[in-house]
Amino acid sequence: MSLIGDQLLKSDKINQLIKDLANETEKNNASISGIKEATSSLKESYKQLMENTAKFRGRPLQYPYIGSGAGKGPFVELADGSVKMDLINGIGIHLFGHSHPRVIKAGIRGALMDVVMQGNLEPNREYAQFSQKLVELASKKSRLKHAWFATCGTMANENALKMARQKNSPAKMIVSFKNAFAGRSTMMAEVTDNPAYKQGLPEYHEVLRIPFYDRKDPASGEKSLNAFKEHLAKHEKNISCFAFEPMLGEGGYMPATREFFVPILEFCKANHIAIWADEVQTFARTGELFAFETLDIGNYVDIVTIAKTVQLGATLYTDEYNPKPGLVAGTFSGSTVSMHTGMEMLDMLVNENYLGPKGRIQDIHNQFISGLNQLNATSCSGKVTDACGMGLMIAFTPFEGKKEQVDLFLKNLFDNGVIAFSCGKDPVRARFLVPACIKDEEISLALKVIEKTILQQNLTTNKT
């Protein structure tokens, strides 16, 4: 006899209703087709909405962005009736853009289940399916064997740190890169190398820094390794883990090579220091599912954290780092909708032509980078420099990369209809987390808006 729960998944009637709902939603969103200015009659109410939001959260939003709930692919409708091209996607959450029909259907199915949030004590079947799926995908090119869910990247990182410290107890120090970002909890703010994110917080002095790869310095690998060696000499047997982003995210979107990482990782292995790759931002974006695959360093990693695109946080770990019962738990494991949509997006990535050197992600990357380089070589001469990144993570340095220049560029870019964000400190860069669903003509449109914005700003700067 089949389960009543299975009827929810297999019932023809329910399946038809889900299809109908998704089709109706798609029809509703069909008229969204490109960048559009705000509707005059909505401007006043939108202004009030902005002010109210700022009042209740205590500070204004970064951009005048409040979504209406409608969107299509890279385009999103805001509550003032304007349509923007969203090339930051909630800082990397919406890998397939807005209102993707398959994501909508998976979300509806998740919403039909008996509980909204699943717990670690009483999970549903999705919990088992999702952890199996993640481990199967992660273990293809690594020794990772287990997955533990968390509700965000920060909590996945907290769990990773606890696992590393417990296994290597009593070692407590963490080695991480200069300009690293690890999240917003007290401890992850400490791992993050940005004083602006921890003003007024006490310092715990548990993080040691090594420099990241510098492509302009042939000795950069050696310098990083030497810095690590000096830390170990001072903190012998007290370094629990090396926590690193395969490409610095908030730190500036400058990719590093395999040759840079390998000697550092070999050194960690030789000294029993846990190797923890924070893939919260890189996961699903670099052309392979994991950046450790793109960089071919999978056999080194002991712990890997992911979040954002999978709609949940997760810590993946080897048998050796499987913690003792009691170390990681928590009420929530994640929402049922997150589990359904996260699994659906993984299936789309793996089963359609997105991954690999000839996959769509790499194709999107190449089109963006060559388009940006082209602007730098022609109309925007010298104002669109160092375009690089990995896969769907793309950045360039506008003008001279000064904070006020980039802030103004991003504000103007938003006004012109494209949403991006900054990263890095010196220089500050404009970064894009491009959705995998973007079409070629939409890439051309994005490049045109970037060009227009650079030229406008150039003109006003030259006038003043």
Please report how close the Cβ of residue 32 comes to ligand PLP at its closest, in angstroms: 27
Q: How far apart are CA 387 and CA 449, in angstroms?
A: 16
- 435 with 95: CB under 8 angstroms? yes
Nearest residue to ligand PLP, using CB? Answer: 153
Of the candidates 393, 372, 421, the residue with the CA atom closest to the CA atom of residue 254:
393
Compare residues 50 and 164 and give the one whose CB is closer to ligand PLP. 164
Q: How far apart are CA 260 and CA 266, in angstroms?
A: 11
Compare residues 151 and 376 and give the one whose CB is closer to ligand PLP. 151
In total, the chain counts a number of residues equal to 464
Phi and psi torsions of 154, nearest 5°: -60, -45
Compare residues 311 and 376 and give the one whose CB is closer to ligand PLP. 311
Compare residues 21 and 91 and give the one whose CB is closer to ligand PLP. 91
Amino acid at site 431: R
Compare residues 281 and 453 and give the one whose CB is closer to ligand PLP. 281
Compare residues 249 and 342 and give the one whose CB is closer to ligand PLP. 249
Q: How far apart are CA 433 and CA 361, in angstroms?
A: 11
**Contacts of 63 by beta carbon, 8 Å cutoff, 6+ apart:** 411, 414, 419
In angstroms, the first-to-last Cα distance of the chain is: 78
Q: How far apart are CA 138 and CA 299, in angstroms?
A: 11
Compare residues 187 and 449 and give the one whose CB is closer to ligand PLP. 187
Which residues would be at the binding site for ligand PLP (CB under 6 A)?
91, 152-154, 157, 181-183, 245, 249, 278, 280-281, 307
Distances (CA, A) of 211 to 176, 179, 242, 373: 9, 8, 13, 27
- 70 with 32: CB under 8 angstroms? yes
Compare residues 193 and 386 and give the one whose CB is closer to ligand PLP. 193
One DSSP character per residue, 36-69 reads BPPPGGGHHHHHHHHHHHHHHHSS--SSS--EEE
Please report how close the Cβ of residue 212 comes to ligand PLP at its closest, in angstroms: 13
Please report how close the Cβ of residue 422 comes to ligand PLP at its closest, in angstroms: 13
Please report how close the Cβ of residue 170 comes to ligand PLP at its closest, in angstroms: 26
Compare residues 210 and 447 and give the one whose CB is closer to ligand PLP. 210
Distances (CA, A) of 167 to 187, 233, 234, 272, 273: 18, 21, 21, 10, 10
DSSP state letter for 93: T
Consecutive H or E run containing 110: helix 101-111
